[in-house]
Structures are given as structure tokens and as C-alpha cells.
Structure 1
Amino acid sequence: MSKVTDVIEGLVTPILEEMQLYLVDIEYVKEGKNWFLRVYIDKEGGIDIEECGMVSERLSEKLDEIDPIPQNYFLEVSSPGAERPLKKEKDIVDSIGKNVHIKTYEAIDGEKTFEGKLLAFDGETLTVEVKIKTRTKEISIPYEKVANARLAIIF
């Protein structure tokens, strides 16, 4: 699967750079009997449907040229939404001060899921302020133990 996403990243990156957009994530997944190639893009201030449509058209042309995926699939180009994944270190740095949802590979203080405000990231450790019952607590999460992270809407 990663080979497909690597090829797609190589195809879509020049298109995005030309349009002053950036890549957030690529998924190539099977759901039921159908395959989906999902490309999540964004820019400062947010993306609109016309930009998604333009990227979809241009990427589709490139995919038709080199045909890197043997089976039929649906191409979807969209915004990552409010709960965007934080895949790269830069994504995490850019999210300092925002609410995040983090899952870890192994338990930290008896927990593997954390939701709260990202206070800091020094390249090795994320510091998250989580609410436990009626008080808040700062949790240090080693970056290598993060299974996945995303922005979170916390009510």
C-alpha cells in the first residue's frame, strides 16, 4: 500500500506546489468491494471545492498517463476537515495551542488515549494538558510512542 501512496505523492506534489497548496495525507484503502484513493489537501485559510476539483482533474490526468494502480478505484480529493491527522513533525508543531487526540502504542500513566490541549513539542516529547475529572494535568508523551494524532473538537 505504501508504494501506491508514494507514487501518488510524487504525482500530486508538483500540482499542489504550483497551486500554492499542500498535501496533508493520502489513503489508499479497500472498503467493501471498492478501492478508494483519497488525497487530503489544504492551504492557509482553508481550501474550497473548486480547488479540490482542479487538483482532482489534474491528478486524474497524471494517473491516466502512467496508470500506477492495477484495479479500479474511486479518486477523492478533499479537505482533511476539522479533525485533520497530524502525520509529520511540522503538523504537530503547527498545532501547538490546539486541541488534539493522541493514541499511543503503549500505555503512559495507564492510558493509551489522550485528548487535550497540545502545549509543546520539542521534537522528542509532546506535552499535552488533559482534563481528568475536575482538574487538569500535563502529560509528557514520547513522540516515538505516538501511534496516531489528530486535531480534536472538544466540547
Structure 2
Amino acid sequence: MALNLDTIRTTAERVAASHHLEVVDLEFQGGAKFRTLRVFIEKDAEERAKLAAKASENAEGDETLPRGVPAEMLSGVTHEDCAAFAQDFGTVVDVEDLIPGAEYTLEVSSPGLERKLRGPEDYVRFRGSLVKVQTFTPVSDNRHWQGRLTGFAGDVLTLDLSAVKQKGKAKKAVTATVVEIPLANVEKAQLVAEI
């Protein structure tokens, strides 16, 4: 039986939904002996909305919310959420034999403040945030960009380069303060924490 990541992701999403969580990303790494399945989770949209409301109402007195971090960047995941999800998901994976072979390690965590951006919904959700983007092919003679994500429309993301001091080729190559990058040309993208 071969490893099917789509089946594992579907199962993870089903288990996560029962805990009011969403699967952000899933990775499987390693060889025959040291295999690791990593699942990155966050609260679902309803729970994130509750967290944002709580943050705006009680930002000063609540020690559970980090200061200076925009609420949309918080995954809201606690250690208890990760443990409960890992227990239930690990049981299902083992019972359904979704990872054939002897042993593997299951790691469950939040995506972190510098999370990867995956699909169009992430670019819409995190508009206004600082991001790092690496492209497949150069845009204005550069493949590495850092700036504020100011827009996402028609599968093109817009970065405001004046938001951060540019480094390397970006510093020399661009005289404009805005760059537009087609989503199809994005190799990697992630948030940059502003604390």
C-alpha cells in the first residue's frame, strides 16, 4: 500500500473540523526508518472571529493574547488543541493504516507567525501584512521580494516595496515602489512577523 497524502489530508481535515480547527499545511518527510508527518493547524474561521473580537474588546488586560500582533495572524491554537487533535488524528491514521510501515512520528503545531501562504484565500486574508516572496522566474530582474501585501486581484499580488528596506538585487533593480507578481509565478511566500 502506497502513501496517499490526499487521503491523509482529507482525514486530517475531517478530524480537525470536529475540534473547530482547520488544517493549514501537511508535510511528510523522511526515509524508511525516520519518517515524520507534520500537521499545521489553526482555529476555524468562526473561532478566529471570536478570538479577534476578544482581542479588540480586551486587548489591554488579557495576558493570553500577544501584544502588537494583528488578530488575523493569530492561529488561536493552544497546546491542548494540538494534543487533542494529535490523539484523535493519530488513532484514525493508525486504525485506517494511512501510513503503511512500522513507525512514524506525528507532529502537530500552529503554522506560526511567519507562516507560509498557500492559496488565493491566504493572500486575501493577509492583505496588509509584510510578506517575503520568491518567484520561479525573475520579475524586474529579481526573484526575491519583501514588502507589504497591498492587494490581490485577478491572481496577481501587489507588494508595496517602500514598507521595508530592500536588500540585494531588489535594492538595485527596482526604482518603483510597487511590484505586481502573478500567483502562478510564486514559488514560495510567507508572512514576516511584525513585533
The TM-score, its normalising length taken from structure 1, stands at 0.89
Contact 2:120 2:155 in 1 (8 A): no
Contact 2:134 2:187 in 1 (8 A): yes
- Structure 2 residue matching 1:55: 3-state secondary structure: helix
Where does structure 1 differ by over 6 angstroms across 4 or more consecutive aligned residues? none
State how many pairs are aligned.
Answer: 152
Q: Would you say 1:105 and 2:145 are equivalent positions?
A: no
Residue in 1 aligned with 2:34? 34
Letter in 2 for 1:148: K
CA RMSD of aligned residues (A): 2.1
- Structure 2 residue matching 1:34: 3-state secondary structure: coil
Residue in 2 aligned with 1:115? 146
Q: Deviation per CA, 1:36-87, whole angstroms, max 9, x where unpaired?
A: 1000000224110000000000001101111122232110010011111111
**Higher helix residue share:** 2
Residue in 2 aligned with 1:152? 192
Matches of 2:30 and 2:126, distance apart in 1:
30
Letter in 2 for 1:19: H
Larger radius of gyration: 2
* 2:96 aligned residue (35, 43, 66): 66
1:154 Cα deviation (Å)? 5.7
Contact 2:15 2:85 in 1 (8 A): yes
Which structure 1 segments of 5+ residues have no match? Answer: none
Matches of 1:15 and 1:86, distance apart in 2:
22
Query: Between the two proteins, what is the percent identity of the paired residues?
Result: 31
Letter in 1 for 2:191: L
The TM-score, its normalising length taken from structure 2, stands at 0.72
**Higher strand residue share:** 1
Residue in 1 aligned with 2:114? 83
